Amino acid sequence: MFERVEAAPKDAILGLTEAFQADPRPEKINLSVGVYQDENGRTPLLECVQEAERRLAAAPTTKSYLPIAGLGEYTAAVAELAFGAEAAALSRERMAAAQTPGGTGALRVAADFIRANLPGASAWLSEPTWPNHPQIFSAAGVATKTYPYFDAQSNSLDLEGMLAAIAKAPAGDVILLHGCCHNPTGIDPTLQEWRRIAEAVHDRGLLPLVDFAYQGFADGIDQDAAGLRVLARPGAEVLACTSFSKNFSLYRERVGAIFALAGSGEAARRVQSQLEKAIRANYSNPPGHGAEVVATILRDADLRRQWEGEVATMRNRINGMRSELVKALQDYHVPGDYSFITRQRGMFSFSGLSKAQVERLREEFAIYVVGSGRINVAGLTPCNVDRVAESIGKVVKA
């Protein structure tokens, strides 16, 4: 039977890291996958995480199964972080919640839930979006459509195009919105724009699904939640998927959550039962360690303060590297105005490099960026930014 199986294409993002690891050139630089590195090129184990792990190790409990929906104290703390303490308290009764293996696990549960409970609903994805989004919905059997998001001319949000598409989408469809740090463009709506988007989404009767994987990496923990909180206005229905891979640097622990804000407590309980059904058939129940670490930090005032400081350090370093990259591109007289890079937010910059230029960067200069031209700015360091800018210059001038 296996003789007839065809090889799948390499993953658009993780496949590049495999190629990077196999590359023998010592000068290689990986700016593909969204993983934060400090100025020494290391992905840090946060101090607050190390302290939480020491505390957990000092008071071992059990490794028995967690409930299908995971640790209750974790999901309660995450709901407060994402929706705001006051809103989370007010909407507790009408909120379904589950801990998931990372943001991807949350998205897959969301997709399974949509397929099983919202028959015929399509999921609308921004054009462009994270390449895994269409795969996740397709694997779950949910059709996808796209709405305009990015205006390449002005390197900014195509708000009017987006609103026009929303106005025409069939009521009952799902619209996936990136809570902050849009992947791959780095372009986020302003608060004013979020208000217009939320108005349009609710008026049209679409269900917003917010992918919220970078809280704290744009402007601040609460500032970055503005879009989600505008969408989650009283009485609204919202699905949200969160991840702590990046902002707790817990990538391999796979820590995320899904929330469904319903119109009533009764509906929330039914939705909760369906989320749990999807989880049980998918991975049964979530892993414990990462969520225990996050809950320990979020529930302790000192650790929480320490975490906020460490997120700010990561955010400020990324934003600093944005300016450094623009300056280095100017120093190397790279044709074009790259100042838009400093206006983008989060880990990524949509550089405008073509597929051919991306290939040349990889083949000739051992610099790996995603085929769409997405650069992981969080992988730039004071040691590699000059070589990156110089190499970009060479492929652009060619």
Catalytic site residues? 130, 211, 246
Minimum CB separation of residue 246 from ligand LMR in Å reads: 8
Instruction: Tell me: does residue 350 bind ligand LMR (CB under 6 A).
Output: no
Instruction: Tell me: does residue 130 bind ligand LMR (CB under 6 A).
Output: yes
Instruction: Tell me: does residue 107 bind ligand LMR (CB under 6 A).
Output: no
Pick 13 or 82: Cβ nearer ligand LMR: 13
Instruction: Tell me: does residue 33 bind ligand LMR (CB under 6 A).
Output: yes
Instruction: Tell me: does residue 325 bind ligand LMR (CB under 6 A).
Output: no
Minimum CB separation of residue 182 from ligand LMR in Å reads: 11
Pick 183 or 391: Cβ nearer ligand LMR: 183
Pick 70 or 103: Cβ nearer ligand LMR: 103
Instruction: Tell me: does residue 329 bind ligand LMR (CB under 6 A).
Output: no
In single-letter form, the type of residue at position 274 comes to Q
Instruction: Tell me: does residue 186 bind ligand LMR (CB under 6 A).
Output: no
Among 16, 29, 30, 34, binds ligand LMR (CB under 6 A): 34
Residue of this chain nearest to ligand LMR (CB atom): 34
Token look-up 């217009």 returns 196
Minimum CB separation of residue 95 from ligand LMR in Å reads: 25
Q: Which structure tokens are listed for 141? A: 């059997």
Contacts with ligand LMR: how many residues (CB under 6 A)? 6
Minimum CB separation of residue 114 from ligand LMR in Å reads: 21
Instruction: Tell me: does residue 13 bind ligand LMR (CB under 6 A).
Output: yes
Q: Where in 200-259 is the site for ligand LMR (CB under 6 A)?
A: none
Minimum CB separation of residue 351 from ligand LMR in Å reads: 15
Strand order of the β-sheet with 238-243 is 95-100, 256-261, 238-243, 207-212, 174-178, 123-127, 144-148
CA-based end-to-end distance of the chain = 48
Pick 84 or 286: Cβ nearer ligand LMR: 286
Q: Which structure tokens are listed for 273? A: 């039962």
Q: Are 197 and 161 in contact (CB under 8 A)?
A: no
Pick 256 or 286: Cβ nearer ligand LMR: 256
Q: CB-side exposure of 182: number of CA atoms within 13 Å?
A: 22
Instruction: Tell me: does residue 349 bind ligand LMR (CB under 6 A).
Output: no
Minimum CB separation of residue 228 from ligand LMR in Å reads: 18
Pick 244 or 262: Cβ nearer ligand LMR: 244
Task: List the x/- string, 166-185, binding to ligand LMR by CB under 6 A.
Answer: -----------------x--
Cα distance between residue 211 and residue 108, in whole Å: 11
Q: Are 252 and 236 in contact (CB under 8 A)?
A: no
Q: Interface with ligand LMR by CB under 6 A: which residues?
A: 13, 33-34, 130, 132, 183
